[in-house]
Structures are given as structure tokens and as C-alpha cells.
């Protein structure tokens, strides 16, 4: 299947800036006012103790914490501008930061869909098939964080089955379930087993990520704080992501929503540095608008693009790695899904996002993981990766000799210049092309989604498991079995 080789993407383009220095300063000033005058609610006594000990203004009765802007600057500055993520397979290690991009697939959808079986609640079998498909797509650098919920497994322990599946069916670093401390501890323990290293080494070799959402507006809930603290204490980078949908969980203007996003992200990142100074962390963005008639989230909109690009400017201002998403609110794999994903991906690339979360397969505002959409999104990413190849001009590229050899009105198909280069000269689509109507009709008059349906099935048939060594597999099985017997299997 015509995929480019697996490699991390580097973005040679300068990042797009649509807000000037004065506008960024005004957004930042409002963010500081939110932190100083309004504060964030931390629903965790241990977190309140740490914040108070490091100089924040803590109201223990309400859980509200106010941050002086100097305190925020001091602690956020301790976070590194880049870091390395270590995968089970060292050839899949990633650099997070700078002009490097890492794509990860859809995460946390409750439903799954394909053309054969329709939309349905997710199962563990679907989850494993998605992990296999993601492992087969060379455009993906990370495995997902629960690509679809395994609703046929007990909620308290399904993360254990998911971690084991990720560590046996894929060889890439993945995103752990950040809801509660114990789920993160389990992830760290199991990754250490799969990599064959101890917890001490994991401290200096980050090996997994986790998305820590703020319950916007201005609330960091108990379970998320537990997950965040466990990540940081173990040297693993959280992706701190406010859930700022303009008009619903944040002010309806994009600058207002961005001021809130900035305040929430910086406040929580400062707290993370208080827990463990120098801990790697990612500035996450999830600002978009909502449909004000229904309250439903909207993605891939002009507002979403603006918010993503200015969010990237703010992350660079604070010298932090940046996360964005490939998001769409479309319900089906059709034109809306394509144009919204294209807008989302362009925004992520032009904002210099270092992690593109939900890069493949996201549908319906995150409610559904789609097999066909996974293929079409991979197609978009491969096209953009080809476009990001550095542009070069030299004497051969100018191809004077080729022009000299072709008469006016002639063609270049059979020239030596063309024949020497046609195999690698241009991007070739993952799902195949049909160049004219007759060829399309003879091929079965299939839509792009139908061709994608056939391709993901072929990929699953060709999938080969990158299994760990037998001792590691046995140790993972034993760990999962023991944890399932314990009453606190998912305790926060």
C-alpha cells in the first residue's frame, strides 16, 4: 500500500501569526486578571497544600486559588521547551517541541462506526481493531488514548485491558487515561514492564502522555488533579487542555475564550511545576465555537482556525510545546467531514502544533471513531506531509535539458528526465485514484468512503503484531490479573 515510510514530521515553514504583539498582550493581561482576581478552583486537598506552600493565595473553604502573575511567570518558566518521548520500540521515539509534529489518532469516543455495521457502542474488539489499524498507518506517531471506549468491559478496570492492548498490539508511545491517580500509576507500571526498565529510569525517560482537561470554566476537578500529579511525579508529560467552547464554557468572543484558555492552562502548568520543577508539559488548545441554536460544539470552523493559530502564538510566547486537534462535527464521512478536517489540520500545521491529537478517525464532535474516516484523514496527513517537504531549486530542478529535448507543443512523458524521476516525483494517494468517469464506473462507481472501507480491511488482514518479548507479555498479563483482583482497581 503506497504509504510514505514512518518518520516524524518536521515543519519547515514559519508559524502563522494573526495576532500582533499588542493583541497578544491584551489577551495575556486578561488571563492574568482571571488568575489574580477570580482564580481557579482546585478540588483536591493535596493540591491546595502544594499551592499554598509555593505562594499562591488559597481559600481552603471554597478551593479557589489565585495566582500572582509573577508567580505564574516564575513557575511556568521551569517547564522545558521540548522533550523526548520513549516508545516501546526505540525507533518510534519522538521529539516533542520546536518545529516537530507528532500525530495521534482519535481518542475517547463512546461509539464506533464503519460502512458495514453502522454506528454502534464501542467494544473491546473494536478498540483492538482500531489499535491495529493505527499501528498500520505510517502517518501516526502516537497510539491513541482509548480510541473507542470498550463499553462491554467494566468501567473500573477497562483501562487495564486497554493498556495491555496498546503495549502488545502497537509499539508506539500512547496517551494514558488521566482520570484519577491510579489509572496513571497503572500506565506507568505497565509501560515500564513493556520497555524493560524500572520506575527510576522512567523519571528521566518520559514514555507516555495524558490529556488533562480543565472542567472549564475555572475548575480543575479531583480526578484530573490526581492524574496530573501522578503524571508529573513520575516524570511523564501531561497535555494540559482547557475545554473552552466559546459561548458555552467560555466567553462567546474568540479573544475572550483565548484569555480564559490561557489563564487555565498557565495556572495548571504552574501547579505542575510546583509538584516537580522542570517536569515536561504541553500547552493544550481546544477552543472552538458552538452552535448557539443547539449548544452543539462546532469544529473546523473559521473561529476554530483563528483560535488554534492564536493559541499557538501564545504557546510560543511562553516557550511551551503546543497541542491541537483534527476535529469535525460532521456525522457522516462526506464533504463536511473533509472540509472541517482540512481546516483543522491546516490550522494545526500553521500554528506549529507539536502534537495533533485526534489526527485520524474523529467524527461527530468526538462521539464516534470511524474506520473509514481514519483512512481519509491519513490521506490528508500524507498530502500535507508531502507539501511540507522542503522546497529546493537547483540546476537539475530547472530542467533546461528536458525543455531542450522537447519540441514546442510536445510532451515530456517519454523523456529521459521524466523516466528517471517519475517513481518518486509526486504524491500518490493512499486509497487510490480514478482519473476519469469511465474508469470510475468500471471500478464499481465507488465513493472515497467505500474505497477507504476496502482499504482498512486490507490493512487489518495484513497487520502483523509487534509483540514484546514473552517475559514482558507474561509480566503484563500478571499485572493486569493482580490489579483486577484489587478493590481499588480504578481509585482516584
Distance CA 26, CA 485 (A): 53
- pLDDT tops 80 at residue 103: yes
Q: Which of 467-483 are b and which e, b meaning 16 or more Cβ less than 10 Å from the residue's Cβ? A: ebeeebbebbeebbeeb
Q: Which residue has the higher pLDDT, 120 or 447?
A: 120
What confidence category does residue 492 fall into, taking pLDDT thresholds of 50, 70 and 90? low
Length reported for the chain: 492
Exposure pattern of 32-58 as b/e (b: 16+ CB <10 Å)? bebbbeebbbbbbeebbebbeebebeb
Compute the distance between CA of residue 130 and CA of residue 117 in angstroms, rounded to an integer. Answer: 15
pLDDT at position 20 is: 98
Residue 121 banded pLDDT, cuts 50, 70, 90? very high
**Each residue of 290-328: pLDDT tens digit?**
988 898 899 999 999 999 999 999 999 999 999 999 999
pTM over 0.85: yes
pLDDT for 436 equals 81
Q: What is the set of domains in the chain, with CATH numbers?
A: 9-18+77-387 (3.20.20.480)
- 333: which 3 cell numbers? 464521512
Res 488: pLDDT: 72
What would the pLDDT profile of 27-49 be if each residue is shown by its tens digit?
Answer: 999 999 999 999 999 999 999 99
pLDDT digits (tens, 9 = 90+) for 319-372: 999 999 999 999 999 999 999 999 999 999 999 999 999 999 999 999 999 999
DSSP 376-433: HHHHHHHHHHHHTSPP---HHHHTHHHHHHS-TT--STTSHHHHTTTTTSS---SS--
> Is a pLDDT exceeding 90 seen at residue 1?
no
Q: Where are the beta strands (DSSP E) in 314-375?
A: 322-325, 355-357, 362-363, 368-370
| Mean pLDDT in residue range 373-399 | 87
**In sequence order, which ranges of 38-149 are alpha helices (DSSP H)?**
45-53, 69-76, 124-136
State the sign of the Cα–Cα–Cα–Cα dihedral 126, 127, 129, 130. positive
Residue 397 scores a pLDDT above 80 = no
pLDDT surpassing 70 at residue 396: no
Q: What are the residues facing 424 on neighbouring strands?
A: none
- C-alpha distances (whole Å) from 301 to each of 183, 217, 291, 363, 383 are 34, 22, 11, 15, 21
Q: How far apart are the first and last CA of the chain?
A: 44
Task: Encode pLDDT of 222-262 as tens digits.
Answer: 999 999 999 999 999 999 999 999 999 999 999 999 999 99
Per-residue pLDDT at 254: 97
Using a 10 angstrom Cβ sphere, with 0-12 exposed, 13-18 middle and 19 or more buried, the burial of residue 313 is buried
Query: What are the angstrom distances between the C-alpha of 480 and each of 58, 89, 161, 184, 206?
Result: 39, 21, 7, 14, 22
Please give the angle made by the CA atoms of 50, 52 and 53, to the nearest 5 degrees. 65
Is the pLDDT confidence value at 66 over 90?
yes
Q: Mean of the pLDDT values across residues 371-400?
A: 88
What would the pLDDT profile of 408-446 be if each residue is shown by its tens digit?
999 988 888 888 877 666 677 788 766 788 877 877 788
Please tell me the predicted confidence (pLDDT) of residue 92: 97
DSSP tally for the chain: helices H, then strands E: 18, 20
- String of DSSP letters for 194-207: HHT--HHHHHHS--
Closest CA to 191 of 212, 208, 169, 211: 208
What region does 57 belong to: left with phi over 0, alpha with psi -120 to 50, or beta? beta
Please report where in the chains the cell 530547472 appears, as a residue.
398
Enter the C-alpha cell of residue 443: 471500478
Find, among 168, 58, 161, 119, the residue nearest to 368 by Cα: 119
In the predicted model, is pLDDT for residue 393 greater than 90? no
Amino acid at each position: 500500500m503506497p504509504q510514505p515510510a514512518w518518520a516524524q514530521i518536521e515543519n519547515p515553514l514559519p508559524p502563522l501569526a494573526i495576532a500582533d504583539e499588542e493583541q497578544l498582550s491584551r489577551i495575556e493581561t486578561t488571563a492574568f486578571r482571571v488568575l489574580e482576581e477570580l482564580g481557579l478552583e482546585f478540588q483536591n486537598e493535596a493540591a491546595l497544600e502544594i499551592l499554598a506552600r509555593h505562594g499562591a493565595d488559597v481559600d481552603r473553604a471554597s478551593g479557589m486559588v489565585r495566582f500572582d502573575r509573577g508567580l505564574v511567570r516564575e513557575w511556568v518558566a521551569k517547564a522545558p521547551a521540548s522533550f523526548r518521548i520513549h516508545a516501546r520500540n526505540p525507533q518510534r521515539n519522538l521529539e516533542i517541541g520546536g518545529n516537530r509534529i507528532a500525530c495521534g489518532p482519535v481518542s475517547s469516543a463512546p461509539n464506533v462506526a464503519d460502512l458495514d455495521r453502522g454506528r454502534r457502542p464501542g467494544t473491546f474488539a473494536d478498540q483492538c481493531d482500531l489499535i491495529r489499524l493505527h499501528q498500520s498507518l505510517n502517518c501516526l506517531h502516537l497510539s491513541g488514548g482509548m480510541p473507542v471506549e470498550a463499553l462491554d468491559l467494566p468501567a473500573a478496570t477497562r483501562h487495564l485491558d486497554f493498556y495491555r492492548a496498546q503495549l502488545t498490539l502497537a509499539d508506539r508511545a500512547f496517551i494514558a487515561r488521566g482520570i484519577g491517580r491510579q489509572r496513571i500509576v497503572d500506565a506507568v507500571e505497565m509501560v515500564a514492564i513493556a520497555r524493560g526498565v524500572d520506575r527510576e529510569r522512567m523519571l528521566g525517560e518520559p514514555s507516555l502522555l495524558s490529556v488533562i482537561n480543565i472542567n472549564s470554566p475555572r475548575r480543575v476537578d479531583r480526578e484530573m488533579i490526581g492524574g496530573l500529579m501522578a503524571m508529573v511525579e513520575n516524570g511523564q508529560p501531561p497535555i494540559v487542555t482547557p475545554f473552552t467552547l466559546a459561548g458555552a464554557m467560555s466567553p462567546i468572543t474568540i479573544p475572550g475564550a483565548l484569555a480564559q484558555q490561557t489563564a487555565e492552562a498557565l495556572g495548571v502548568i504552574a501547579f505542575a511545576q510546583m509538584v516537580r520543577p522542570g517536569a515536561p508539559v504541553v500547552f493544550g488548545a481546544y477552543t472552538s465555537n458552538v452552535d448557539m441554536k443547539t449548544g452543539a460544539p462546532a469544529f473546523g470552523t473559521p473561529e476554530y482556525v483563528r483560535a488554534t493559530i492564536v493559541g499557538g502564538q501564545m504557546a510560543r510566547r511562553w516557550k511551551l510545546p503546543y497541542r491541537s486537534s483534527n476535529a469535525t462535527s460532521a456525522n457522516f464521512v462526506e464533504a463536511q467531514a473533509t472540509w472541517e478536517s482540512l481546516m483543522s489540520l491546516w490550522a494545526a500545521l500553521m500554528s506549529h502544533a507539536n502534537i495533533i491529537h485526534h489526527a485520524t478517525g474523529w467524527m461527530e464532535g468526538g462521539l464516534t471513531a470511524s474506520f473509514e474516516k481514519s483512512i481519509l484523514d491519513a490521506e490528508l496527513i500524507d498530502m500535507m506531509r508531502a507539501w511540507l517537504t522542503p522546497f529546493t531549486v537547483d540546476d537539475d530542478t530547472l530542467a533546461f535539458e528536458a525543455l531542450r529535448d522537447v519540441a514546442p507543443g510536445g510532451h515530456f512523458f517519454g523523456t529521459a528526465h521524466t523516466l528517471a524521476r517519475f517513481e518518486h516525483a509526486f504524491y500518490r494517494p493512499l486509497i487510490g485514484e480514478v482519473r476519469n468517469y469511465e474508469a470510475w464506473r468500471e471500478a464499481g462507481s465507488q465513493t472515497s468512503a467505500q474505497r477507504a472501507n476496502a482499504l482498512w480491511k486490507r490493512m487489518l488482514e495484513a497487520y502483523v503484531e509487534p509483540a514484546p518479548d514473552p517475559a514482558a507479555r507474561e509480566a503484563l498479563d500478571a499485572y493486569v490479573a493482580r490489579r483486577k483482583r484489587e478493590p481499588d482497581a480504578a481509585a482516584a
